[in-house]
Amino acid sequence: MLTIGEIIEIEKAKVARRQPSEEDLRRIPLDRPARVFGRLSDPKQIQESLQSMAELADLVRVAREDGFRTELSQEEVERRLAALQRKEPDTVRYWVDGQLIVDLRDLGISGRLGPDKRPALADLMADLSRGEAQDVTGTIYLSSEGLSRLSRDQDRIVSAQLLKLLKEANCRVRTPYTVLNPRIDTDWRVLREKFEDAAKESRHLQEDHFGPKIRSKAQKGEHVGLPVPPGFIIEIKGYKSNGAYIFGKWKPYPPHAEIDIKILEEYVRQQGSKYKAAQALRGLVFPLFPPELKWMEKRSSLRNCLKNDHGYIITPEVIDGLAGQLALVGIWKWADIFIVNNHEPVVPMDLFLEAYALRHHRGGKPRGRAAYYEPLDWDGLLWCLNHEAPRHISGHSSDGKWVCDRDYHNGVGPICLKINHQIISQPLTTEFLKCLDLRSYAREVFDELQTRSMTVEAEEAMRKHQEAQLRNRLANLETYLGSADPELEESYRRQIKQVKGELRALQQKPLPTRVTIADINRVQHFLENLEDEWQKLSSSLRNRLLKLLVDRVEIVHQRGHIQAIIIWKIGFKQKVDIEWEAGSSAQERRWTTEQDDLLRTLWPTVTRDTLLAAFPDRTLRGIISRARNLGLRRKVRLFPSHWEPWTTGDDARLRELYVRGTPVEDIAADLRRSISAVVGRAHLLKINRLKKARFLKRKVTWEVLNFYGLEAVSPSLLPTPAF
Amino acid sequence: MKSGLLVEYMVSGFPHLRQVSGLPETLMPDFAKASHTLGDEAMLKVGEPLGLVERVKTMLSQAPDPSTVPPGIWEQGISNWPPIHQVRSVTMALLRACEKVEALERRGVLKISPALVRGLAAIAYAPFSPNGSGLLSKLADILGVTVEEPARLIDRYMTAVATGDADTPAAVDRCILEDPAWREWSQRLLATGRDFPFQPRVIGICPQLTSGLKQVLVSMMMEVINAYDRRDYRN
């Protein structure tokens, strides 16, 4: 039989096993460390908010009164806080005093920020994340402002994390007036509401206080955080108590300002083409900020630009931005605030106005053509290997061109490749289809076709059924109308409206494409003759098929010649060497440095025939134009000084050559006249070229080399870039 | 001889020949169809001038049903064929030559003539023909290569064609036409080729049929069946 003493022990054990009461949970655990947590939003508050700082000293006293063992006297704590307020050197913001940790490292840091920018908060969260251990903070002492000291996170993420950590670590939140433990349901709700209130309060503060403050600063034309355009730096008016800058207006920065002028001059010279301007300015950069202006790196709009060792690269986007940047002429613009002559301009007004007009004239033109397009067959598969790293060649289906222009858009080089898509697509497609053999899948394709046909039929039947159901329902509802009960009447009308809406939506839904069942032979024929059927297919489908089967096409190109290697997903490779009559696209006509040098040497003295012989791929008009661009002068006349009349023989010869479609340059050379003279005479005589001569299709030839996996392929032939 | 037995032997034996000689799997996917289309008679007719018919007929009369021949016997028999080591190199050289001829024709610098086809066919077939050694040595003399390297004979011949050297191909053609058996063989071969009802594929890459590929092919079929005349419009 149990004794009374034993029964009492059993009952005591039961009590010990029972859930702790709310009173137990709110009791301050003196066996675990406590933490006094101080935070003020603005560094100025440390000096100015005497009440807040005094409260921190009070918190230490409260902790001591709660029973925590400390070694520092209250006077010493107050002295340390006072030193902090006076910004004395070597002040401490964090100390451990017996069982008490005083952490003031977040003083002067906004509560909106997360632990990545708040050392005290990060430390607290790391500590709490260790759970309910003996050495983990058991009580947090907060001033009367409560949880807003911990976080005012607007996304409520930090507050939610904190709440969870506090609960898991069984950590109490102690303010001068109350103790809360998130393990108690009611306390958890209170804490959550307080975090919410803190976040809302911060938002209101921002809207009611800081918003007007920024606006008032902006109205004075002073820096309010906008990226500073190139050509300016920010005037520093002073320093805040925390050492932060107090900014004034923007002021000119000559090293960048002179670049601004050069850019706008070039932009105007290029008639508003930011790309041409970027090309012309290749090599010119905005110098990097010197160490004493390092703080500008984060504040200048150049921070988003491409950078090399010498400075910030001038891209077409930079040029475009500058041409519309009002600040360059001293106009301050912030939201709806405009201040003329706010700061010193860095570019002449005339130049800016000209650039602005060009930009305004060019920009914003709607281009409806791009609203819908089908991709080119090989879109997304072509890679240009004429660079250090492979570059994607984009397909411009609106003008049917393959273009490799990343360097050009970045302002670091010319357009690498711009070519009629047929020059590449035709050989690649021909060779690809020649090797593709899908005939063995005729049965599977046929089965799938039948399945899809059945699905479409089922969909159509279902749709008809739904439509009939809705119509019946609508008819029924309409018979109920005219009820004496207004509420019922209203309900019917509402339902009728809803059913009508559903019916309309169903009718507007696009009909599924009907599938005409073909027999297996038709499918077989299609797969056998894919080459013949190819042009009947939409380019998006052709592109889909190619993307399914081809991994990539690597392209190395030079004038008039392209080497393309088709790499199939199954590993099969085809090398296609494409040749075409080069010289008609702008990219192909580009003058090289060597040609420029040769022209400089020849231009002053040699005859027209010599020039044409020296540049066999070029026309006389092209040579003259280039010479003008280079600023070259002739020492002898290029053309005879007197004009020779057209003879009957000349006219007959002109008619014969012109109608045949002979290039105008060749006719001009044949008749020893200028191109404009030839064209003008042909126009005068009303000679028309044949239509097919006007639109000559360039001949593309190619040679293929299929790799069967048996050849030893040299690495130079098959570059394997890192994709 | 049982009708169609030669075709059956060729169709059954070709995969083993491909395997033993090391030819790629993707090569000549239409071999069976082409053999069936051609038939025993046409094949024997082409081979007749070279004296192959009697040998083939004798062999086939004693041969079992090809479907009953185990793979090991096929492979052993093919491995024992003396010129088997030349099959791969000659085939690859011929393929390269065909690619080159196509490219030259596209460029407009070459017209595919009977002489060109005859030359390529004879050079490629001579190393494997029982009566081909005589022609081969003459061709080797013309092309400046030894008879042990028949693949190089094709390369040299194509180099001459590509570089516009008219004398060498003419000499090769003359050499073939001077030999009555090869002249007849080449004439019959060209005639058979001209009358052949379809153009067999040289390569047939057959990717795995994924569901994505199946869907695309079905969509393509639907577009074609729905009779779009031409949808290669540009925006």
A chain contacts of residue B214, beta-carbon cutoff 8 Å:
441, 444-445, 448
Query: Closest by alpha carbon to A170, among A62, A39, A20?
Result: A20
A355: which 2 tokens?
Answer: 């650039």
A548 to chain B: nearest residue by CA?
B213
Min distance A210 CA to chain B CA atoms (Å): 52
Residue pointed to by tokens 């709009």: A301
Inter-helix orientation angle B114-125/B167-178, to 10°: 70
Three-class SS of residue A420?
A: strand
Residue A228: per-residue pLDDT: 93
Element (H, E) at B192: helix B180-195
A709 to chain B: nearest residue by CA?
B24
Report the complex ipTM: 0.87
Contacting residues for A313 by C-beta, under 8 A, at least 6 apart? A285, A305, A306, A307, A410, A411, A412
A window 553-592, beta carbon within 8 A of B:
568-570, 572, 577, 579
Give the mutation candidate from A379, A520, A537 for the B interface (greatest B CB count, under 10 A). A537
B chain contacts of residue A549, beta-carbon cutoff 8 Å:
207, 213
- Of the partner residues A400, A703, A708, the one whose CB lies closest to the CB of residue B234: A400
A537 touches chain B (CB under 8 A): yes
DSSP-H helix ranges across A41-184:
43-48, 50-66, 74-85, 119-128, 157-168
Q: Which residues pair with A286 in a beta bridge?
A: A312
Residue B229: per-residue pLDDT: 43
- Of the partner residues A398, A536, A569, the one whose CB lies closest to the CB of residue B224: A536
Do A438 and B228 count as a contact with CB atoms less than 8 A apart? no
Query: Closest by alpha carbon to A103, among A125, A129, A135, A73?
Result: A125
Contacting residues for A296 by C-beta, under 8 A, at least 6 apart? A228, A233, A234, A253, A289
A706 touches chain B (CB under 8 A): yes
List own/partner pairs for A499-503 with CB under 8 A and 24 or more apart. Answer: A499/A470, A499/A473, A499/A474, A500/A474, A502/A470, A503/A467, A503/A470, A503/A471, A503/A474
Min distance A696 CA to chain B CA atoms (Å): 17
A709 touches chain B (CB under 8 A): yes
Cβ count near A123 (within 10 Å): 19
Radius of gyration of chain B (CA): 21
Give the mutation candidate from B92, B102, B203 for the A interface (greatest A CB count, under 10 A). B203
B chain contacts of residue A710, beta-carbon cutoff 8 Å:
22, 24, 88, 92
Query: Closest by alpha carbon to A113, among A146, A158, A52?
Result: A158
- The predicted-structure confidence for A586-627, as pLDDT tens digits, reads as follows 666 778 888 888 898 888 888 777 888 888 778 788 888 888
Cβ count near A131 (within 10 Å): 10
On whether the CB atoms of residues A120 and A106 are closer than 8 A, the answer is yes
A117 touches chain B (CB under 8 A): no
B93 to chain A: nearest residue by CA?
A711
B106 to chain A: nearest residue by CA?
A701
On whether the CB atoms of residues A144 and A177 are closer than 8 A, the answer is yes
Tell me the pairing of strands A550-558 and A382-384: parallel
Do B220 and A545 count as a contact with CB atoms less than 8 A apart? yes
Do A537 and B231 count as a contact with CB atoms less than 8 A apart? yes
A520 touches chain B (CB under 8 A): no
B chain contacts of residue A397, beta-carbon cutoff 8 Å:
234-235
pTM over 0.90: no
**Angle, alpha carbons A315-A320-A322 (nearest 5°):** 95
Interior/surface letters A306-324, b for 16+ CB within 10 angstroms, e for the rest: eeeeebbbbbbbbbbbbbe
Do A518 and B229 count as a contact with CB atoms less than 8 A apart? no
Query: Closest by alpha carbon to A112, among A189, A180, A207, A201?
Result: A201
C-alpha distances (whole Å) from A395 to each of A373, A400, A404, A540, A546 are: 11, 7, 9, 13, 14
Phi, psi of A573 (to 5 degrees): -125, 145
Radius of gyration of chain A (CA): 40
Per the document, the length of chain B is 235
A641: which 2 tokens?
Answer: 């000084």
Q: Which residues pair with A204 in a beta bridge?
A: none
Do B99 and A710 count as a contact with CB atoms less than 8 A apart? no
B chain contacts of residue A711, beta-carbon cutoff 8 Å:
92
Looking at chain A, which residues constitute the CATH 3.90.1750.20 domain(s)? 232-365
Min distance A655 CA to chain B CA atoms (Å): 29
d(CA A587, CA B167): 42
C-alpha dihedral over A332, A334, A337, A338, to 10 degrees? 20
B222 to chain A: nearest residue by CA?
A515
Per CATH, domain A232-365 is 3.90.1750.20? yes
Do A444 and B214 count as a contact with CB atoms less than 8 A apart? yes
Q: How many angstroms from the chain centroid is the CA of residue A22?
A: 53
Q: Which residues of chain A have pLDDT under 50?
A: 368-371, 641, 712-723
Rounded-to-5 percentages of helix, strand, coil across chain A: 50, 15, 35
Cβ count near A643 (within 10 Å): 8
Residue A716: per-residue pLDDT: 38
**Angle, alpha carbons A401-A407-A411 (nearest 5°):** 120
d(CA A506, CA A471): 12
C-alpha distances (whole Å) from B37 to each of A7, A435, B110, B193, B195 are: 105, 22, 30, 12, 11
Phi, psi of A700 (to 5 degrees): -110, 130
Kindly write down the DSSP assignment for every residue of A21-46, as one continuous string: PHHHHHS--TTS-EEEEEEESSHHHH
A414: which 2 tokens?
Answer: 């010319």
A chain contacts of residue B107, beta-carbon cutoff 8 Å:
579, 701
d(CA A719, CA A552): 12
Residue A584: per-residue pLDDT: 57
Tens-of-pLDDT digits for all 235 residues of chain B? 445 888 999 999 999 999 999 888 888 888 999 999 988 888 889 988 888 888 888 888 888 888 888 889 989 989 998 889 899 999 999 999 998 998 888 888 888 899 999 999 999 999 998 888 899 999 999 998 888 888 999 999 999 999 988 899 999 999 999 999 999 999 999 999 998 888 888 888 899 998 889 989 988 888 887 754 444 444 4
A645: which 2 tokens?
Answer: 């009349």
Residue A372: per-residue pLDDT: 54
Residue A643: per-residue pLDDT: 65
Query: Closest by alpha carbon to A531, among A659, A642, A438?
Result: A438
A684: which 2 tokens?
Answer: 């005068």
CB contacts < 8 Å between A and B, how many? 140
Q: Which residue ranges make up each domain of chain B? A: 5-79, 84-189
C-alpha dihedral over A534, A536, A542, A545, to 10 degrees? -60
B208 to chain A: nearest residue by CA?
A570
B chain contacts of residue A544, beta-carbon cutoff 8 Å:
216, 219
Could you tell me the end-to-end alpha-carbon distance of chain A, in angstroms, rounded to an integer? Answer: 83
Residue A369: per-residue pLDDT: 47
Min distance A558 CA to chain B CA atoms (Å): 18
- Of the partner residues B107, B205, B210, the one whose CB lies closest to the CB of residue A435: B205
Residue A287: per-residue pLDDT: 92
d(CA A234, CA A219): 16
CATH number for the domain running over A23-208: 3.40.50.1390
d(CA A342, CA B102): 73
A window 379-418, beta carbon within 8 A of B:
397-398, 400
A383: which 2 tokens?
Answer: 């890679």
- Of the partner residues A516, A579, A705, the one whose CB lies closest to the CB of residue B99: A705
A298: which 2 tokens?
Answer: 């984060």
d(CA A554, CA A576): 10
Do A397 and B234 count as a contact with CB atoms less than 8 A apart? yes
Element (H, E) at A105: strand A100-107
Min distance B89 CA to chain A CA atoms (Å): 10
- Of the partner residues A400, A538, A705, the one whose CB lies closest to the CB of residue B223: A538
Min distance B172 CA to chain A CA atoms (Å): 25
C-alpha dihedral over A24, A29, A35, A38, to 10 degrees? 30
Per the document, the length of chain A is 723
Three-class SS of residue A270?
A: coil
On whether the CB atoms of residues A231 and A343 are closer than 8 A, the answer is no
d(CA A441, CA B207): 10
Q: Which residues pair with A384 in a beta bridge?
A: A391, A555
Min distance B1 CA to chain A CA atoms (Å): 32
Do A527 and B217 count as a contact with CB atoms less than 8 A apart? yes
Longest dimension (CA), chain B: 68
Element (H, E) at A358: helix A349-362
C-alpha distances (whole Å) from A412 to each of A278, A279, A359, A407 are: 8, 7, 22, 5
Min distance B132 CA to chain A CA atoms (Å): 27
Query: Closest by alpha carbon to B96, among A706, A430, A435, A579?
Result: A706
A chain contacts of residue B212, beta-carbon cutoff 8 Å:
548
